[in-house]
């Protein structure tokens, strides 16, 4: 497993809230556990106290994305570094019982679970994953969806750094809105042109009289 994979932990946590619409999905221990995905053992340690702690980490991770999306790479890195210092990781070499064709373990780097509490474990993995993504692809590959009012976080892995939306749904919605805006502008221009032509025609007719 590539370490950049863990950056999805950060995206999942940031997107558990939709500030523009006033939606909050991180309201229970069960919601916290769902964020761990396949890491069920780590999620089972979550308690009621982790709900508020997760929200606090989420706000700090969103600030990392906001700084990157706003073009302030240094601030984005500094904010992430503060999380890395507060929530250190424990890297381990793991094979997970997977073998190659010759029967040898498929060794890879793995971020071990944090022993203290669910929030510390999740924050450590999310921050380190995001750090690997930053250094592998660039800070400018962290973004916030441009489809108003959505401000979901996303990681741009496109070859031409062209991603602007968190999902195909938001991209379609933004394209439809842009198309309708162009049509309204064209209609307004056509109406103004028609009115101007009418006024010119009336002025010509009055002059002929």
pLDDT at position 192: 65
d(CA 5, CA 126): 9
pLDDT at residue 195 in the model? 59
Considering only 38-42, 43-47, 120-124, 150-154, which range has the smallest mean pLDDT?
Answer: 38-42
Give the DSSP letter of residue 105: B
122 close to 83: Cβ distance less than 8 angstroms: no
DSSP 195: H
State residue 46's pLDDT score.
Answer: 93
Please tell me the distance from the alpha carbon of residue 110 to that of residue 89, in angstroms, as a whole number: 10
pLDDT tens, residue by residue, 136-151 = 899 999 999 999 889 9
**Bridge partners of residue 99, in order along the sequence:** 105
What would you report as the CA-atom Rg of the chain, rounded to the nearest whole angstrom? 25
- What is the rounded distance in angstroms from the CA atom of residue 1 to the CA atom of residue 41? 18
CA 70 to chain centroid: 13
Angle between helices 73-86 and 48-69 (to 10 degrees): 160
């Amino acid at each position: 497993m590539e370490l950049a994979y863990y950056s999805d932990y950060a995206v999942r946590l940031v997107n558990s809230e939709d500030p523009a619409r006033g939606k909050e999905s991180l309201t229970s221990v069960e919601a916290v556990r769902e964020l761990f995905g396949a890491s069920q053992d780590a999620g089972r340690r979550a308690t009621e106290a982790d709900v508020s702690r997760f929200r606090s980490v989420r706000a700090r991770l969103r600030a990392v994305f906001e700084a990157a999306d706003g073009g302030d790479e240094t601030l984005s890195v500094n904010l992430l570094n503060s999380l890395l210092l507060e929530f250190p990781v424990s890297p381990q070499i793991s094979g997970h019982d997977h073998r190659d064709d010759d029967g040898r373990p498929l060794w890879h780097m793995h971020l071990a679970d944090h022993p203290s509490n669910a929030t510390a474990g999740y924050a450590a993995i999310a921050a380190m994953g995001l750090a690997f993504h930053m250094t592998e692809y660039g800070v400018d590959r962290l973004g916030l969806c441009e489809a108003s009012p959505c401000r979901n976080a996303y990681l741009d892995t496109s070859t031409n750094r062209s991603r602007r939306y968190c999902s195909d749904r938001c991209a379609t919605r933004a394209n439809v809105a842009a198309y309708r805006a162009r049509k309204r502008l064209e209609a307004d221009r056509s109406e103004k042109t028609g009115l101007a032509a009418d006024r010119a025609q009336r002025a010509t007719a009055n002059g002929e009289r």
